[in-house]
Amino acid sequence: MKKNDRRFSPAPRKWRTTRLLGSVVSLAALFVLAGTPVLSQNSATQPDPKAVPTIDGGIGPCSADFTINDASGAPVYAAKVKVHIAYGFINVRKLDLELGTNSDGKARFTGLPDRIKHGIYFKASEGSRTGEAFDDPANNCKAQFTITLREQDAPKVAPSSDAKQ
């Protein structure tokens, strides 16, 4: 290879500057064009308060639908429904899911396992109010629950026997 071989010599400075400037302008145009519809779409679309929040566990075909009410029967907005699932050989695999309710007090878990040794225990809460539900997916794969949230009772403390008389 000769030193004066033009195929391997660097491009003149003017060409390098022009290519670099063209690349920068092209990338900037691409970002502007790609980002514009996304930004306008997000600002125009508001979340539907009636849409049922759904989370997929991805470990089976079963589901559980919830309606969370207070003691008077009114739906509870933004109540948290939690579930802990231990599954697999000697329950080595674990999955924790949590979901909030919509304005109608509804929430849905999908992708729950259909074969599990001990069933699935759900706990709903909002503030100091709680409620619970239990499901055995082997018997009821498409479960529907209505949970009534009630105030937790304060733990009763037994009087101490060490009190001096």
Asked if the structure places residue 160 within a domain, the reply is: no
DSSP 4: T
Range of the domain at 63: 54-151
- Read off the tokens for 19: 């290519």
Asked if the structure places residue 7 within a domain, the reply is: no
Residues 64 and 123 in one domain: yes
Highest mean pLDDT among 7-11, 46-50, 88-92: 88-92
How far apart are alpha carbons 151 and 126 in whole angstroms?
A: 10
The model carries a pTM of: 0.65
* CA distance from start to end of the chain: 107
How far apart are alpha carbons 75 and 47 in whole angstroms?
A: 19
pLDDT, mean of residues 124-149: 95
Residues 147 and 120 in one domain: yes
How far apart are alpha carbons 151 and 70 in whole angstroms?
A: 10
pLDDT, mean of residues 2-24: 61
Asked if the structure places residue 4 within a domain, the reply is: no
pLDDT in tens, 57-80: 999 999 999 999 999 999 999 999
